[in-house]
Amino acid sequence: MAKRAILMMAYGSPDKFEDIEPYYTDIRRGRKPSPEQLHELTERYKAIGMGNDSSLLLRITQSQADLVKELTGLPVYLGMRHWTPWIREAIQQMKEDGVEEVVGVVMAPHFSEMSIARYIANVEDAQKLHEAEMEISFVKSWHDHSLFIEALNEKINNAMSLFSEDEDPHVIFTAHSLPERILKNNDPYKIQLLETCDLLAERADIASWSFAFQSAGRTEEKWLGPDLLEEIEKLNNEDVKSILVCSVGFITDHLEVMYDIDIEAKKFAADLGIHLERTESLNANLLMAEALKDVIEKEFDK
């Protein structure tokens, strides 16, 4: 039987402050950030308590990998798209270890040509670079898996205890924005996000909810909206005074959750007199790991 392994991929995050500039440069395809951009990003990392050890994202992704390894009995290799350990390094290591058959999965449940497809392209480039002839297939989305929905449902139920008995919070589901041009190519990203929201709202019996994008890039082109802050302002105009944010697109604590929601959005809401809370991120969640095990094994069996 062919030697099998799992390639688990995530976006990547700097390990320490001196990593921020090269990390940001990689995201910008080789263009260094301006001093002002670098200062702003550094201050955001300071605000969420960044240290000088391995990144929070990497530590959590490693914990997720450990759970999937335990459940599947297969070795799990980590590969990051924009920082170490790089996807190309994981491919090289798998080749050296004699791996013959691989399933790759990204720690993002929803497919887009601008996200998941780019991870796949990174893997294909790495295979060519290292002349790694192993057979690799990919889990392209797992946004509607029942165990993923159940894991989010548990987090919503837990978060309701953060509100008083006389509060009935409106729920805003969020995900990372992408350039609006993806819609012209029938990209399924927004459709899959709304499918997750519909399934979750039904499972959690949520009557009042909406969807918003967050963390849009600062470029001249238009990004998908509404933005989270715009949605909060709209709800304020409708006299909504308690909000629960559930980020269905982000499964792991990192900058876009801990700063954009916990600091920026929470302060924006507080200034409007709104009580805003966030569901805990799934992180190393057993139900989610079981969902990943299921979709990975089905991919191996194709």
Identify the sign of the CA torsion 261, 104, 218, 190: negative
Number of domains in the chain: 2
Instruction: Check if the beta carbon of residue 214 is closer than 8 Å to that of residue 228.
Output: yes
**Claim to verify: residue 157 and residue 110 sit in the same structural domain:** no
Q: What is the CA radius of gyration of the chain?
A: 20
**Claim to verify: residue 85 and residue 28 sit in the same structural domain:** yes
**Claim to verify: residue 167 and residue 130 sit in the same structural domain:** no
**What is the reported pLDDT for 1?**
73
**Claim to verify: residue 202 and residue 247 sit in the same structural domain:** yes
Instruction: Check if the beta carbon of residue 265 is closer than 8 Å to that of residue 250.
Output: no
Q: How confident is the model at residue 125 (pLDDT cuts 50, 70, 90)?
A: very high
CATH code of 241's domain: 3.40.50.1400
Q: How confident is the model at residue 123 (pLDDT cuts 50, 70, 90)?
A: very high
Closest C-alpha among 169, 171, 254, 164 to residue 215? 254
**Claim to verify: residue 132 and residue 32 sit in the same structural domain:** yes
Beta-carbon-side half-sphere exposure of residue 234 (alpha carbons within 13 Å) = 13
What whole-number distance in Å separates Cα of residue 94 and Cα of residue 92?
5
**Claim to verify: residue 76 and residue 188 sit in the same structural domain:** no
What whole-number distance in Å separates Cα of residue 27 and Cα of residue 83?
9
Identify the sign of the CA torsion 227, 231, 234, 236: negative
**Claim to verify: residue 58 and residue 152 sit in the same structural domain:** no
Structure letter (DSSP) for residue 97: T
**What is the reported pLDDT for 9?**
98
Closest C-alpha among 91, 136, 189 to residue 299? 136
**Claim to verify: residue 77 and residue 109 sit in the same structural domain:** yes
Mean pLDDT over 81-97 rounds to: 98
**Claim to verify: residue 297 and residue 250 sit in the same structural domain:** no
**Claim to verify: residue 244 and residue 289 sit in the same structural domain:** no
**What is the reported pLDDT for 111?**
98
What domain range is 188 assigned to?
A: 146-278
What whole-number distance in Å separates Cα of residue 288 and Cα of residue 282?
8
Mean pLDDT over 23-45 rounds to: 95
**What is the reported pLDDT for 51?**
79
**What is the reported pLDDT for 215?**
97
**Claim to verify: residue 100 and residue 133 sit in the same structural domain:** yes
**Claim to verify: residue 106 and residue 175 sit in the same structural domain:** no
Q: How confident is the model at residue 214 (pLDDT cuts 50, 70, 90)?
A: very high
Instruction: Check if the beta carbon of residue 39 is closer than 8 Å to that of residue 263.
Output: no
